[in-house]
Structures are given as C-alpha cells and as structure tokens.
C-alpha cells in the first residue's frame, strides 16, 4: 500500500499466557470512522468481555482496521479492498495466533463497513465462516441524496456522482457470482427502524435475496433507532452471538508460536 495501515486489536483474556489459536473477526468502521470507533463509540471491549465470560460466544480476536477510503473498494487507484485481503489479513494471521482457514475468520461492519462486509463475504466466501452487516449501506439502485456515497471519490466521475460506478461496486454483481457457487456464508443483518438513510428498505432487499438462496442461513432484525451508535453498540452482541457458532473454537497452537508476543 506504500503507507502505514492502522488497526486496533482486541485480544481475549488469557491470550498472552495461553498456547491457543483463536478465531478472528475483522470488524469494519463506517463513513468518516477510524480504527478506534468500535472501541470508543461502540464499546466493543466490555461487550466482548461479557459475552466471552458468560460463554455466550467463543473467545476470539477482533481486528478493527482504519482506512480513509471507508467503502473498502478498489477504485481511483486506491485498492482498499485488495489491501485488506492481501496485506492486512496475512499480516494479522502472521503476527497473532489465528485458527487457520475459513473456520477461523468472520467479517462484520456498520453502514459503509457493513456494505463492505457483505461485498467481502460475497467475493470471498471461501475465506469467511460468517458475516454481519449492521445498518449496511446496501443501496439499490442508488444511494439516497443524503448519503456520503454521493460525494465519495470511489463513486465519482468528473467531480460528480456516477451511478454506473456505484452499480459496478455494489453488492449485486458479486451476489450473482456468490449464488452460483456452493459455499454459503451465514449472515446477520439489522437496521434501526427510523434510519434516516432508509436502510430498512435496502437491507430487507438484501435479506430477501439471501433468504431465497440460503434459507436458514440469514436473519434480519429491525430495532428501535436511527443510523447511530446506540443501535450498533446495542446490537453488536447479537451479531457476535449469531456468528460465533459458525467459527471454530480455540485450538492448541504450535508451541513455537506461544507466548505473550505471538
């Protein structure tokens, strides 16, 4: 990528003293967010601590990357999606004890990051055991006029929003490829009921397609709230509980990789 890639990592209690490999969740921020959002605004650490301590989810590592191109797509020479998959994931799985293979990975995100989680799961179903999209910006056919997508560089041409660029980079083309192959990624999808970007409508359309393709392996929840952190902070636990059973539980690691720094 040619520059630093910032990310924050949550390690479950006992990671440093154990000799276990853990599943990992890649958790993406939304528009104008950064690698600290889920910790500071989403209060993800106490949620993870509580759910793990209550045996509601398997102990896991959570990686929260930060990227200025918050739609996580390859566009305008900024290969945000490729960098995530080809540079960040291998780096994380080299530096931390991660369960190998598909059963060791999950992906989730909110808003633009939720749309990215959908795209990544559709594009790389062999890589992810489960996915979650909270208030995902899966607008179809076009974003609403108040969406940041209308002004973001990946979807612009000659300084103006380009509907063709949006359609090309949306989830729909990837879904056509996804449903033509045999691997199923279980999906958790939600939205606030008064979301100002009309997410319930668009998320329901996504769920409908998933339900037709993989009945029993997708759920959609509408909760009270707008497009806001109280919705995401209060429902990320539900998403974690949905994804966790699809991931492998921690397993014994190679002794050479054990210790606080590995």
- Kindly state whether residue 123 falls inside one of the protein's structural domains: yes
Average pLDDT, the chain: 95
In a domain, 150, yes or no: yes
Q: Does residue 80 surpass a pLDDT of 90?
A: no
Q: What is the CATH number of the domain that holds 46?
A: 3.40.50.1820
In a domain, 2, yes or no: no
Please check whether residue 1 lies inside any domain of the structure.
no
Residues 19-45 have a mean pLDDT of: 98
Q: Cα–Cα distances in Å, from 24 out to 74, 91, 129?
A: 23, 13, 10
CA 207/CA 120 separation, integer angstroms? 16
Give the number of domains in the chain.
1
Is 77 within the bounds of a domain? yes
72 pLDDT band (50/70/90 cuts)?
confident
Q: Which residues of 189-211 are buried (b: 16+ CB within 10 A; e: fewer)?
A: bbbbeebebebbebbeebbebbb
**Has residue 262 been placed in a domain?**
no
CB 167 within 8 A of CB 174: no
pLDDT of 2 over the 60 cut: no
Average pLDDT (52-71) is 93
pTM reported for the whole predicted model: 0.96
> Rounded mean pLDDT of 66-94?
87
Q: Is residue 240 part of a domain?
A: yes
Model confidence pLDDT, tens digit, residues 127-145? 999 999 999 999 999 999 9
**Host domain of residue 160:** 7-257
> How confident is the model over 185-233, as pLDDT tens digits?
999 999 999 999 999 999 999 999 999 999 999 999 999 999 999 999 9
- Residue 53 covered by a domain: yes
């Amino acid at each position: 990528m040619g520059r630093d890639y910032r990310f924050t990592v949550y390690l479950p209690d006992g990671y440093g003293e154990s000799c276990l490999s853990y599943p990992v969740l890649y958790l993406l921020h939304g528009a104008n967010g950064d690698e600290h959002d889920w910790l500071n605004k989403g209060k993800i650490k106490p949620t993870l601590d509580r759910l793990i301590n209550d045996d509601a989810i398997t102990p896991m590592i959570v990686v929260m990357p930060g990227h200025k191109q918050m739609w996580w797509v390859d566009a305008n020479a900024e290969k945000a999606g490729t960098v995530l998959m080809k540079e960040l994931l291998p780096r994380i799985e080299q530096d931390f004890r991660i369960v190998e293979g598909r059963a060791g990975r999950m992906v989730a995100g909110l808003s633009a990051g939720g749309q990215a989680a959908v795209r990544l799961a559709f594009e790389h179903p062999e890589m992810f055991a489960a996915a979650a999209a909270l208030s995902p910006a899966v607008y179809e056919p076009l974003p609403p006029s108040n969406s940041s997508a209308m002004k973001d560089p990946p979807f612009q041409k000659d300084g103006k929003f380009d509907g063709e660029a949006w359609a090309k980079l949306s989830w729909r083309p990837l879904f056509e490829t996804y449903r033509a192959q045999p691997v199923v990624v279980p999906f958790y999808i939600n939205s606030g009921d008064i979301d100002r970007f009309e997410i319930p409508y668009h998320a329901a359309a996504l769920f409908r397609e998933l339900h037709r393709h993989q009945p029993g392996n997708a759920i959609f929840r509408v909760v009270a709230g707008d497009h806001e952190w109280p919705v995401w902070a209060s429902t990320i636990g539900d998403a974690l509980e949905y994804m966790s059973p699809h991931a492998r539980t921690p397993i014994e690691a190679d002794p050479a990789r054990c210790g606080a720094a590995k």
